[in-house]
A = this chain, B = another copy of it.
Amino acid sequence: HQPAETSRQRHREADLVRRVVASFDQTPDPRLKELMQQVVRHTHAFLRAVRLTEAEWQKGIDFLTAVGHITDDRRQEFILLSDTLGVSMQTITINHEAYENATEATVFGPFFVEDSPRIPLGGNIAADAPGQPCWVAGTVRDTNGQPVPNARIEVWQADDDGLYDVQYDDGRTAARAHLFSDAEGEFCFWAVTPTPYPIPHDGPVGAMLTATGRSPMRASHLHFMVTAEGLRTLVTHIFVRGDELLGSDSVFGVRDSLVQDFVTHPADHPTPDGREMSGQDWTEVHFGIVLAPG
């Protein structure tokens, strides 16, 4: 960290850090003590490194106050802030170390809903959601390559207008469902081809993105949560190879291993289940899921 210019001043600053850290010495819970003392160390290291001015401190207070005031039961601006600073993705990365060939995790996001509709294998999660049909197929395996039957596969996505069903006011359920892998671990379903959408950017986090020349757009993706007995639950996305937003995803959720080939077929190309496309192009993607041991 860039130090103050004189040793007297360095001593004043370091002595304050020492006193604040020591104030947490009597914390009964050792983990809470560690967390608080490290929050103090890193926050003060930041202040000292940038030589924060009093006006900047006030702007920081004002920013956090605005984040707090826009947050309610439906809008969580602190999570948006965590997401856009990569804090959410780093927490996922720390807690989901890469395990052999297991599929990597990424951010959960705010749009998962419990009790999604169940669809059969080959069913359609889209319901009324607008979008280009997309056939998704794959197999769930463990890290030894053994198929995992009866894995619960939750899938959810934004529609072609960039919105999740819960972002509409009409209570609709669309573009989300769950299904189970078959006896050979295989699964397949219809969805819509993922398209980019912005995270909510009309609040203070959106203002931060604008001020720093960043885009609120998320790279196109389809959410998965896969659970199976005795295996580690996987929360992830698949991304679309060739999407120009892969390098600038606003929440840093992209991993190379999660980028998949979405192959476009003309309307008259036979569909896997005989579905009639009535003039509409469609896409097809394969996703081999590998679950780590529980």
Contact = CB atoms under 8 A, between A and B. Distances in A.
B16 A90 contact: yes
A19 B90 contact: no
Interface string A26-58: 111100111110111011111111111110110
Contacts of A124: none
Given A69-B71, A90-B44, A90-B47, A212 B27 contact: yes
Contact of A39 (B53, B85, B252): B85
A119 to B, nearest CB: 28
Nearest to A48: B94
A38 B46 contact: yes
A113 to B, nearest CB: 18
A199 to B, nearest CB: 14
Given A16-B90, A44-B87, A88-B57, A98 B65 contact: no
A225 B57 CA distance: 20
Copies in the complex: 2
A76 interface: yes
Contact of A68 (B71, B248, B252): B71
A93 B40 contact: no
Which range contains the number of A residues in contact with the other chain? 35 or more
Interface stretch (A4-12, A163-171, A185-193, A271-279): A4-12
Contacts of A24: 212, 214
A89 to B, nearest CB: 6
A52 B93 contact: no
B42 A9 contact: no
A91 interface: yes
B40 A42 contact: no
Contact of A67 (B68, B86, B90): B68
Contacts of A61: 76, 78-79, 82
Given A49-B38, A85-B39, A4 B64 contact: no
Nearest to A66: B68
Interface in A111-148: none
Nearest 10 A-B pairs (CB), nearest first?
Answer: A68-B68, A20-B86, A26-B213, A42-B46, A27-B212, A42-B42, A57-B91, A64-B78, A9-B97, A47-B90
22 contacts: A4-B94, A12-B98, A16-B86, A19-B252, A20-B85, A20-B86, A23-B214, A23-B248, A32-B211, A35-B50, A35-B56, A40-B85, A54-B91, A54-B92, A54-B95, A61-B78, A61-B79, A64-B64, A64-B67, A67-B68, A68-B71, A69-B71
